[in-house]
């Protein structure tokens, strides 16, 4: 089954630092921008919700037609956002947790400036592999 999924990491200063289309569905021309738009629009909701709960994983906080936004907020307020059309909650949660670990490894790299773009190709490959595994 073809699925749509768009993954994005937004830094605490609301700057996107990593983006990846991880779905298997054929790409439409305008889809990428639309996905970005939906995710950015969800940021306000994340901001409100993040302080009401101690959980890091915020499930299905926003929807757009059949697409759902799930978010994972790290302790440093970096937001891992996923736009998806599957209903596989456990998979999404595991995906977030493992990407979080990868993100921590990136942060520990002394040559990475926190809040700057993640350009590591290793990270990119790993994220895509995780997406195939869990989503």
CB of 71 to another protein, least distance (A): 26
User: Does residue 109 interact with another protein by CB under 8 A?
Assistant: yes
User: Does residue 119 interact with another protein by CB under 8 A?
Assistant: yes
CB of 102 to another protein, least distance (A): 11
Q: Which stretch binds another protein (CB under 8 A): 17-25, 65-73, 85-93, 111-119?
A: 111-119
Buried b (16+ CB within 10 A) or exposed e, 105-134: ebeeeeebeeeeebebeebeebbeebbeeb
CB of 78 to another protein, least distance (A): 17
Binding mask 68-107 for another protein (x = CB under 8 A): -------------------------------------xx-
CB of 116 to another protein, least distance (A): 9
Closest CB to another protein among residues 122, 133: 122
CA distance 107 to 78: 11
């Amino acid at each position: 089954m073809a699925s749509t999924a768009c993954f994005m990491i937004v830094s605490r200063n609301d700057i996107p630092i990593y983006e990846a289309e991880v779905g298997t569905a054929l790409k439409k021309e305008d889809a990428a921008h639309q996905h970005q738009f939906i995710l950015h629009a969800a940021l306000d909701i994340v901001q409100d919700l993040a302080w009401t709960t101690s959980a890091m994983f915020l499930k299905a906080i926003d929807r757009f037609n059949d697409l759902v936004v799930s978010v994972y907020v790290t302790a440093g307020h970096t937001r891992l956002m996923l736009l998806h059309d599957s209903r596989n909650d456990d998979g999404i949660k595991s995906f977030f947790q493992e990407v979080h670990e990868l993100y921590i490894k990136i942060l520990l790299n002394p040559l990475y400036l926190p809040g700057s773009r993640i350009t590591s190709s290793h990270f990119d490959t790993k994220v895509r592999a995780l997406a195939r595994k869990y989503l």
